A and B are shown apart, each in its own frame.
Chain A
Amino acid sequence: MFAGQASPVLPVGRRWSRDRLLRNLVLGTPLVWAVVFMFIPYLIIFTYSFWLKKYPTFVPAFQFGNYAQLFADPQYYQVLLRTAKIALAVSLSSLLLAYPFAYYLVFILKSPRLRLMLYMAVIAPLWVSYLLRAYIWKTILGNEGVINSFLVYVGILDRPTDIFLYNQFSMVLTLTYIFIPFMVMPIYTALEKIPRNLIEASKDLGVGPLGTLFKVIVPLSLPGIFAGMTFAFCLTFGDFVAPFLVGGPDGVMVANVITSQYGAALNWPLGSALAIVMLIIVLGIIELSDRVERAGRINLA
């Protein structure tokens, strides 16, 4: 648009077309990337989801049998519900941990250096391999793990227990640990943006620290809370490593089912249908959180 407006004052069209070429290159490269590596694969999966399973493989078709199967067979919709439940548990537990932490960093800690150090302590694990971070919990919660060894050592337990590992609890714990940086970051940013004099004004008007937290600070940090909840929920919803490493028989999530449909079961059409349903759920949640965030958006300037 800019180049188009500027063209009359430029001598010839050559410069104009070079500008446009450059601009198209800058804008186009990521677009091409997204189309080739994201939209086309999704499109392929989308077409697969209508194909027909025919032993030993599957054949092109256009029918809704795979989707019908997902909603008819409790095995599939229950795994969707369970995944949603775990995702909700992970986002709530990381909110409950992250909010007080971010609050402490922003409002209570006086030293900027210590604040940065503690903030980085939460963010730094993002640079460690995801697999490693999930695996760590195996060594903490497992039969021979740190907790069990300690409990046996101090005599609380006679022999190691397996209640810590391979269940939904261990999954929520591990996923909370893995995704908590995505909760801390937006909440920290939201809290930092709150002008200090609003907190002073609240106290000046006779409202104590707790009232100020719930009447001023929490409402003004809602965008950060929504962003963090969306991150944690959607990332958990699509996770398949934690269930694989620390989840038990009751910890199977949607992504694991998809993996098995593409693998051992060799039912790509059903796996694709499940992937598409999952995609729709996640996009729906992102859209919902975006709307809520926009409705409550507040001009802090």
Chain B
Amino acid sequence: MLPLREGREPATALSNSSLLSSYQAPGHTDMSKIVEIDGVSKIYGGSVVAVDDLTLAIKEGEFVTLLGPSGCGKTTLLRMLAGFESPDRGIIRLAGEDVTSRPPYRRDVNMVFQDYALFPHLSVAKNVAFGLERQRLDRTEIGRRVADALSLVGLADKAERRPHELSGGQRQRVALARAIVRRPKVLLLDEPLSALDANLREAMQVELKHLHEKLGLTFVMVTHDQTEALVMSDRIVLMKDGRIAQMGEPAELYNRPASPYVASFIGTTNLLPVEVRSVADGRAVVALGGRNLELPAPAGLVAGHAALLGIRPEKLRLETDGTVGACQISVAVEEGLFHGNAVRLRCLGEDGSVLLVDLQLSQSSIAVPARGSRLQLSCDPTDLYLFAGDDR
């Protein structure tokens, strides 16, 4: 939907100066790190730790998503990048410059606010021009940049409207245009799609991703929606209690979760308690469904203790032809939820644990199992992951 005619801008005066400043910054070696968060903590009211000794580097041009449940500190971290909050400890560097104690109006970052925060007394064009009027630009240059930004988000014909005359999606685009028109070093997005309805949200996810590719800007987005994070980001930083639970590419977090918390926050995961039989040479033997399984052992796993075994619902298969897989689980179907292209079965294992199974219905040969029927499930050992702790 976005008419993305404009390619990546050639080096402008702005990006030249940013380059210069990173040269001048002492102790700054890695040019590609546009944001450096170094040991940052934020404590509210003397006791509530919102962000806890967090260190994170963001590369230039990267799309990083801060993901986590409410209260995990992701919004506080974003607001510290914007300058609305100041860290109690630690340093924030932007293009190599220490900006920790700089007010928001002296930082080369711009934010797309959750509820857009458009100025109700100004037209769309004036909203977009708001931040340009402080930069020493002449009127024609401001007009040109505003028109460019508005056509980039497909709102060229709405320039003279007031924000309250626009739909939610259009306001979102104005907020976006207003934030990118100043060509910031980093674009911050605070739950940018949360106020949109489901269909529009999906369309905007793709548009934002394309916009990121076109502009080549660094995007830092905050969201609690894991699907959004998986779809849009180059890298996800999953947070918990003010710390980073795991960070990496979306596929990495999905396929190799570092903890039960990550496994259950990103996608759906069955977590089965298992007993560790032995641990040796980085391999562990655990008991599952009366059979022993050998799996790569995570750090901290102790023989004789309980551990958690994770498996995604879609990685479980039905044993139909009687062949015996590497690992087997027998379950009883409790409930089947029809999803159109798949059916999600809620099953009970022999030990009473709940197991979710996703069956793709693309092959017409698969019939939806009836309630109460007993199933033999199998899976690949490579799709299983073992967790030492019970950190959910």
Contacts and interface: CB of A to CB of B under 8 A. Distances in A.
Specify whether A and B are partners: yes
Interface of A: 195, 197-198, 200-208, 211, 215-216, 219-220, 296, 298-301
Contacts of B103: 203, 208
A108 B67 CA distance: 32
A204 B134 contact: no
B38 interface: no
A192 B202 CA distance: 35
B135 A195 contact: no
A111 to B, nearest CB: 13
A207 B103 CA distance: 10
B17 to A, nearest CB: 14
A203 B104 contact: yes
Contact of A204 (B82, B135, B164): B82
B243 interface: no
B135 A197 contact: no
Given A203-B104, A211-B134, A215-B130, A298 B121 contact: yes
B23 interface: no
Interface in B166-182: 178, 182
26 contacts: A197-B117, A198-B119, A198-B120, A200-B111, A200-B113, A201-B119, A203-B84, A204-B82, A204-B104, A204-B110, A205-B130, A205-B131, A205-B134, A205-B182, A206-B106, A206-B134, A206-B135, A207-B105, A207-B131, A207-B134, A216-B119, A220-B121, A298-B120, A299-B120, A300-B120, A301-B164
Contacts of B130: 202, 205, 207, 215
Contacts of A203: 83-84, 103-105
A201 B113 contact: yes
Interface in B21-48: none
Given A200-B84, A201-B113, A208 B119 contact: no
Contact of B111 (A201, A211, A299): A201
Contacts of B134: 205-207, 211
Contacts of A204: 82-84, 104-105, 109-111, 131
B133 to A, nearest CB: 8
B121 A200 contact: no
B219 to A, nearest CB: 15
A296 B162 CA distance: 12
B97 interface: no
A139 B111 CA distance: 56
B335 interface: no
B110 A205 contact: yes
Going nearest first, the 7 A-B pairs with the smallest beta carbon separation are A205-B131, A201-B117, A197-B117, A299-B164, A203-B104, A203-B105, A298-B120
B148 interface: no
Contacts of A301: 164
A206 B105 contact: yes
B149 to A, nearest CB: 13
Contacts, number: 67
A246 B343 CA distance: 87
Contacts of B118: 201
B374 to A, nearest CB: 56
Contacts of A299: 120, 164
Given A195-B117, A299-B120, 10 more contacts: A197-B115, A197-B117, A200-B84, A200-B113, A200-B117, A201-B117, A202-B130, A203-B104, A207-B105, A207-B134
Nearest to B111: A204
Interface in B156-208: 164, 178, 182
Interface in B308-331: none
Contacts of A195: 117
A208 B105 contact: yes
Nearest to B114: A197
Contacts of B105: 203-208
Interface string B278-312: 00000000000000000000000000000000000
Contacts of B182: 205-206
Contacts of A208: 103, 105
Interface string B130-147: 110011000000000000
Nearest to B109: A204
A201 B128 CA distance: 11
Nearest to A222: B121
B13 to A, nearest CB: 15
A197 B121 contact: no
Nearest to B135: A206
Contacts of A198: 117, 119-120
A24 B82 CA distance: 58
A212 to B, nearest CB: 8
A207 B182 CA distance: 12
Contacts of B114: 197
Residue from B109, B117, B118, B135 whose CB has the most chain A CB atoms within 10 Å = B117
A216 B130 CA distance: 10
Interface string B82-114: 111000000000000000000111100111011
A220 B120 contact: yes
Nearest to A196: B117
A103 B134 CA distance: 24
A205 B178 contact: yes
A211 B130 CA distance: 11
A200 B120 contact: no
A198 B122 CA distance: 12
A219 B162 CA distance: 15
Contacts of B178: 205
Contacts of A197: 113-115, 117
A207 B127 CA distance: 13
A220 B120 CA distance: 8
Residue from B83, B105, B110, B111 whose CB has the most chain A CB atoms within 10 Å = B105
Contacts of B83: 203-204
A107 to B, nearest CB: 14
Nearest to B110: A204
